[in-house]
């Protein structure tokens, strides 16, 4: 850590890393127990176990029932939740400062000793299956998972975080116990706090609460996905809109060009003034929702575009998206666009710093990705130093690099929407 940085870090003998950021003038704190294990770390036949286990942690421990966990946090005036991602699982809470010790005690107990009662497993299995059903009724979510599967075909990072229904039906207590034993270990646990807290006191609390946790081993993620090949997937489904996603190879976590990537994404489709929003929605009125996005994982990444339109217009919208990408590739962006993107990205970042959860999550994501912990001033400086050439180079490396993949969910058949059917038009 550099002198003067707000973020402090301590690694315990158990391998647990404790990181914190004190926020003056607030009376609460956000606490997160991050497990360096996500859906990309699941073996064949385990798809969905990370997410299922995240649910089971809330069903009680050897010390607290599920009801007691809920009542404890309610009585503290606190919020508690969990989330599963491609590379991590987190249990987090936002609590008034006087309740930090108690909240951390319960969160650590949940991570250390989930009860995993077979009756609870069976009940939660039905909840998970209903969650999968709900997800299948959300075509905007389904299409984004389809584009990920297209790009990372055959790689564990490509499968759905929720898992497959048939796999979920076969999970039992032994599977959960083995997965928990291998993944909820010291070297994969990161405790992060942001807000009204003291780092040394947080370290002491975690140290006292982590007795019995083995160091274990870090996840093996040495095999990144191969370069994606252009692919089109159409899921025929009776929907009012055709949900469309374009995707291409992106950048991995920690890539020095990630600041240029953020600005490129903002100019392309990350704001109301972006190229895609102005062209496809404001000028042509073809969509209600359209945006671009990025995903940066360890050793791999993707860039994407999502929009929804009437099925009869799907082919036209895809043509226009390709045209706009081709136009940027040929003509580049403008200094005016870059300046506006810098102001937007920096402004959104500064606004986010007012929230302790956003700060806690930012610290954890940097630590999980092996990135340096930048102060707000350092991050803004990196953004401001990014040149137009940097942004255009990252566009060529991503969107113009290995070809596009397309996914569509809607009342369409194969061949009704395709890539490369029309060259860019001259306006």
Q: Please tell me which residue in 36, 54, 149, 392 is annotated as part of the active site.
A: 54
Separation CA 353–CA 266 (nearest Å):
19
Half-sphere exposure of 422 (CA within 13 A, CB side): 14
Q: Are 380 and 349 in contact (CB under 8 A)?
A: yes
| Catalytic residue list contains 54 | yes
Query: Judging by DSSP bridges, how do beta strands 89-96 and 79-84 pair with one another?
Result: antiparallel
Rg of the chain on CA atoms, in Å: 23
**What does the block give as tokens for 401?**
């690099």
**Residue 293 β-bridge partners:** 304
CA dihedral 181, 183, 187, 190 (to 10 degrees): -120
Q: How far apart are CA 410 and CA 236, in angstroms?
A: 5
Q: CB-based burial of residue 124 (10 Å sphere; 0-12 exposed, 13-18 middle, 19+ buried)?
A: buried
Angle at Cα 296 formed by Cα 112 and Cα 424, nearest 5°? 155
Q: Which residues are marked as active site? A: 54
């Amino acid at each position: 850590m550099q002198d003067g940085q707000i973020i402090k870090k301590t690694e315990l003998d158990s391998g647990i890393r404790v990181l914190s950021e004190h926020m003056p003038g607030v009376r609460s704190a956000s606490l997160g127990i991050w497990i360096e294990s996500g859906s990309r770390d699941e073996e064949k036949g385990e798809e969905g176990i990370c997410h299922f286990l995240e649910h089971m942690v809330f069903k009680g421990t050897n010390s607290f029932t599920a009801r007691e966990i809920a009542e404890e946090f309610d009585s503290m005036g606190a919020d508690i939740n969990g989330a599963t991602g491609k590379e991590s699982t987190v249990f987090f809470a936002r609590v008034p400062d006087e309740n930090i010790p108690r909240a951390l005690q319960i969160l650590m107990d949940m991570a250390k000793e989930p009860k995993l009662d077979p009756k609870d497993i069976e009940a939660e299995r039905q909840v998970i299956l209903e969650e999968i059903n709900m997800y299948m009724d959300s075509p905007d979510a389904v299409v984004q998972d389809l584009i990920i599967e297209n790009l990372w075909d055959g790689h564990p990072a490509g499968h759905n975080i929720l898992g497959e229904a048939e796999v979920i039906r076969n999970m039992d207590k032994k599977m959960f116990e083995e997965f928990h034993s291998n993944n909820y270990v010291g070297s994969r646990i990161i405790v992060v706090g942001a807000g009204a807290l003291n780092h040394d006191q947080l370290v002491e609390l975690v140290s006292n609460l982590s007795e019995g946790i083995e160091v274990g081993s870090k996840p093996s993620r040495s095999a990144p996905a191969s370069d994606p090949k252009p692919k089109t997937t159409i899921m025929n489904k009776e929907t009012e809109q055709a949900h469309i996603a374009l995707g291409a190879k992106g950048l991995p976590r920690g890539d020095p060009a990630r600041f240029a990537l953020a600005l490129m994404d903002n100019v392309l489709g990350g704001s109301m003034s972006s190229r895609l929003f102005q062209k496809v929605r404001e000028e042509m009125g073809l969509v209600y929702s359209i945006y671009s996005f990025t995903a940066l994982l360890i050793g791999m990444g993707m860039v994407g575009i999502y929009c929804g339109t009437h099925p009869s217009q799907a082919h036209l919208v895809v043509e226009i998206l390709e045209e706009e990408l081709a136009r940027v590739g040929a003509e580049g962006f403008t200094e005016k666009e870059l300046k506006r993107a810098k102001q937007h990205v920096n402004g959104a970042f500064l606004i986010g710093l007012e929230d302790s959860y956003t700060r806690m999550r930012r610290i954890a994501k940097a630590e999980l990705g092996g990135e340096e912990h930048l102060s707000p001033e350092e991050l803004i400086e990196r953004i401001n130093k990014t040149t137009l050439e940097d942004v255009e180079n990252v566009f060529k490396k991503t969107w113009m690099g290995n070809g596009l993949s397309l996914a569509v969910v809607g009342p369409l058949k194969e061949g009704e929407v395709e890539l490369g059917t029309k060259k860019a038009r001259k306006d």
